[in-house]
Amino acid sequence: MGDQTFLTELGQQLRVDSVRASAAAGSGHPTSSMSAADLIAVLLAEHLRYDVTQPHDPNNDHLILSKGHASPLLYAALKAMGAIDDDELLSFRRFGSRLEGHPTPRLPWVDVASGSLGQGLPIGVGLALAGQRLDRIPYRVWVLCGDSEMAEGSMWEAFEHAGFEHLDNLTAIIDVNRLGQRGETMHGWDLRAYSDRAEACGWRAIEVDGHDVDAIDDAYQQAVVTTDRPTVIVARTRKGRGVKAVEDAEGAHGKPLPDADEAIRELGGERDLTLSVAKPESRGAPHRFEPRAVAWPRYEIGGDPVATRKAYGEALAALGATRPEVVALDGEVSNSTHADLFAEAHPERFFEMYIAEQQMVAAAVGIQVRDWVPFASTFAAFLTRAYDFVRMAAVSRADIRLCGSHAGVAIGEDGPSQMGLEDFASLRAVHGSAVLHPCDPNQTAALVAAMADRPGITYMRTSRGAMPTLYGPDEEFAIGDSRVVRGGDAHDDVTLAGCGVTVHEALRAADQLEAEGIRARVLDLYSIKPIGGEALWAAASETAGIVVAEDHWPEGGLGEAVLSSLASEGSQAQVITLGVREMPGSGKPEELLHAAGIDAEAIAGAAWRLLGARATSAHAH
């Protein structure tokens, strides 16, 4: 059979198998798969360069299904490529199946999870940046986008960045099937609306009939030969294409076809075509940077105070020398986060993402697909902008490191919009995450090194203001541990716990309590998740109780992490948690710490309340 016939037949097979998988599951998105079936058939048969038997071959192209709900189409394609068999196809959406409702990397041919719209293209930008600037081999990145998701600002961050970076190894394919979940999109079949916007961002735009296999083939060919800018294929398609009962019909989104058998007949019945995807022509080895020996930053106890954000930058720059797979990204605040120190030392591995935090985190996810080790930084407050991307990075089983600087009321005059008082809560509630907050430059540096080796999402909060050095430069700090900074024997009366600035406040509180005849143990809970439980449990059993102070809202942060850890051990310790309970304003750091009730005075007062409660309780016995 001729190419055109084969491609048309293959498209029909992908439709039939999408219908079959969704019918077997009793749910799914067959109509959203059917609109894009010809686009995928031509791409896989004619243009993708991919070794199905070696999904991690560095020379492979990457295909990202930004419209993740079209998963039946992807799975139908994997069956045609011989990656999965028909039985597995029909396990779609069943408990235990790798073929989840939306794709995840449980399938080795899937780089990243999708299903939260607007993420595939910005992640594709990250992969294309990796190809262009890190790996330096000519793999292409193809991203199948829905038209509905073009309403997400993150898509336009991606268009903006890809145009600015001249990513000619990136092709976006917009499946303009006109219909969203509940009705028509803003632009319907107005292909120009998309082309105009993309061209304004420096892209080449090619409009095609998304069911004309020759036209699609031509468009992909033009995308491949276009240099110096990315290409978007804006394809007019029909949702549910090929089955009258659902074609271009409202109310047919996200459900199996009403009569699957009839639909399969209408589509020409089941087929068993084999799709042979061409292997990459290039066999080049990815570029690797040379390691260099550098001195690891060391800070002396009693030296000048150092901000942990500064130590972050110094450690990251040093790590980048010895670990050439480390890369850094920043959201146009590198002179504040001190990612600028990495940028100066390793300009080839630094990515300026401008004020586009969603694109920044997405790029980190894309870059780690190729086994680079990304660290992405901005103010802690502004990582909230990318929260959905962090959440999805966990579903992608991505290994990324995030740094949020300038958090807490301790930043002072800039005010609450800049304080990021929700970072512990929001980032603890990400599957498999670690949440760190050092109080000292040596500790910061040690944890930066540990972050590089940790799988999953690892977050560090750094502080704006300089702090005294508490620990020597050779001390070791593991993620999941804690440190007794003061006291530690059976004579301690009470425990004061904190992280970051509140460790220093707790130490001052301990001085004050000592003058009042009370011995306080001070715990540095720098690893908020996983929390350093053993020192905590010891403190719970050995002292009258624990005061936990944090520069964070009372909900979901260190205080509750402590309570959870103690509850999991069945501890009945008395705990008082101090956090920021009223909306802060501007002021000096010490004024704001005092107003929030998390300074030394408040901590000492809480310790007295604990001891008083214990005395009363002992008296009652």
- Which of the residues 34 through 73 are near a copy of itself (CB under 8 A)? 68
Least distance from C-beta 164 to a copy of itself, angstroms?
5
**Which range touches a copy of itself (CB under 8 A), out of 265-273, 333-341, 464-472, 479-487?**
333-341
Both tokens assigned to 284: 């080049």
The 117-156 contact track toward a copy of itself, x by CB under 8 A, reads xx-----------------------------xx-xxxxxx
b vs e for 421-432, b when ≥16 Cβ sit within 10 Å of the residue's Cβ? bbbbbbbbebee
Active-site residue, selected from the candidate residues 357, 422, 505, 550? 357
Least distance from C-beta 586 to a copy of itself, angstroms?
4
Cβ(155)–Cβ(118) under 8 Å? yes
- Which of the residues 202 through 221 are near a copy of itself (CB under 8 A)? none
Sign of the alpha-carbon dihedral angle for 238, 242, 248, 251: negative
Least distance from C-beta 332 to a copy of itself, angstroms?
5
- Which of the residues 159 through 188 are near a copy of itself (CB under 8 A)? 160, 164, 180-182, 185-186
Q: Is the peptide bond before 589 cis (omega within 30 degrees of 0)?
A: no
Least distance from C-beta 336 to a copy of itself, angstroms?
7
Where do we find the tokens 């045609």?
Answer: 80
Cβ(26)–Cβ(65) under 8 Å? no
Cβ(387)–Cβ(148) under 8 Å? no
In the list 524, 551, 560, 599, the residue contacting a copy of itself (rule: CB under 8 A) is 560
Task: Work out whether 416 is an interface residue with a copy of itself (CB under 8 A).
Answer: yes
Least distance from C-beta 405 to a copy of itself, angstroms?
13
In the list 210, 529, 539, 543, the residue contacting a copy of itself (rule: CB under 8 A) is 529
In the list 96, 302, 347, 517, the residue contacting a copy of itself (rule: CB under 8 A) is 96
- Which of the residues 351 through 390 are near a copy of itself (CB under 8 A)? 354-356, 358-359, 381-382, 384-385, 387-388
Comparison of 334 and 444: residue with beta carbon closer to a copy of itself: 334
Comparison of 280 and 498: residue with beta carbon closer to a copy of itself: 498
Closest by CA to 148, choosing from 27, 66, 232, 223, is 66
- Which of the residues 248 through 287 are near a copy of itself (CB under 8 A)? none
CA distances from 145 to 293, 295, 596 (A): 44, 46, 46
590 is catalytic: no
**Which range touches a copy of itself (CB under 8 A), out of 43-51, 96-104, 488-496, 532-540?**
96-104
In the list 15, 47, 79, 102, the residue contacting a copy of itself (rule: CB under 8 A) is 102
How would DSSP label each residue in 303-367?
Answer: SS-EEHHHHHHHHHHHHHHH-TTEEEEESS-HHHHSTHHHHHH-GGGEEE--S-HHHHHHHHHHH
Cβ(584)–Cβ(416) under 8 Å? yes
In the list 2, 225, 290, 417, the residue contacting a copy of itself (rule: CB under 8 A) is 417
Q: Euclidean distance between the first and final Cα of the chain, in Å?
A: 92
Closest by CA to 400, choosing from 437, 424, 427, 440, is 427
Cβ(524)–Cβ(499) under 8 Å? yes
* Rounded distance between C-alpha atoms, residue 180 and residue 32, angstroms: 9
Least distance from C-beta 287 to a copy of itself, angstroms?
26
Task: Work out whether 621 is an interface residue with a copy of itself (CB under 8 A).
Answer: no
Least distance from C-beta 395 to a copy of itself, angstroms?
5
Both tokens assigned to 88: 């597995």
**Which range touches a copy of itself (CB under 8 A), out of 166-174, 508-516, 519-527, 556-564?**
556-564
Both tokens assigned to 442: 């040596």
Q: What amino acid positions are annotated as catalytic residues?
A: 357
